[in-house]
Amino acid sequence: MDAGADLNAKGVGGITPLNYAVGKDHKEIVELLITKGADVNAIDAAGQTPLDWAVGGNYKETAALLRKHGGKTGEELSIHKAAEAGNIEAVKQHLAAGTDVDAKDMIGTTPLHLAAWEGHKEVVELLIAKGADVNAQRDDGGTPLDWAIEWGKTKTADLLRKHGGKTGEELKAEDK
């Protein structure tokens, strides 16, 4: 570490040295890595953080240590929450870690739905540039365009239309 090793280097599956230390419940190494600058909220390819690893392994003391240093779960930092909050850097981190740009929650909502709903144009642009389905439908048939229109996000709605976005009703009419 003192020779300049990258403490946040990611190996197979986006796993960092901190993930490895947490996965073996090596509290002293976890503490050392954190004090030397390891990212306590690094997201692996499965969308999990070191805290998720600690909780999953039932490593309570290690989990408490991570929380003390600002550690959050992948759910707390999920691409959905990042898109909804307009946190473009967190969205970029998720995408770089391999998170599915069209990841759906339990009712089919994608990050694009949430970014459109909140009118976060930069996040919408990023998600589209990374291949997000502009016509992804939730379980109720709603699309990102539906959400932008419903919540009065005109500029976001225009952007979605420019990229081929349609309402759920328009998609339904096309299927006839």
Q: What domains can be seen in the chain, in order of their start residue?
A: 12-68 (1.25.40.20), 79-174 (1.25.40.20)
Task: Check residue 141 and report its DSSP letter.
Answer: S
Residues 23, 18: Cα–Cα separation, whole Å? 8
pLDDT tens for 91-112 read 998 888 778 899 887 788 999 9
Over residues 58-90, the pLDDT tens digits come to: 899 999 999 999 888 877 667 888 899 898 988
* Helix, strand, coil percent values for the chain (each to nearest 5): 50, 0, 50
Provide the whole-model pTM.
0.63
**Residues 92, 125, 85: CA angle, nearest 5 degrees:** 60
Which two tokens mark 2? Answer: 């003192």
Q: What is the arithmetic mean of pLDDT over 9-26?
A: 91
Angstrom distance (rounded) from CA 72 to CA 118: 23
Where residue 124 falls among pLDDT bands split at 50, 70, 90?
very high
Residues 6+ apart with CB under 8 A from 143: 113, 134, 135, 136, 137, 165, 166, 167, 168, 171
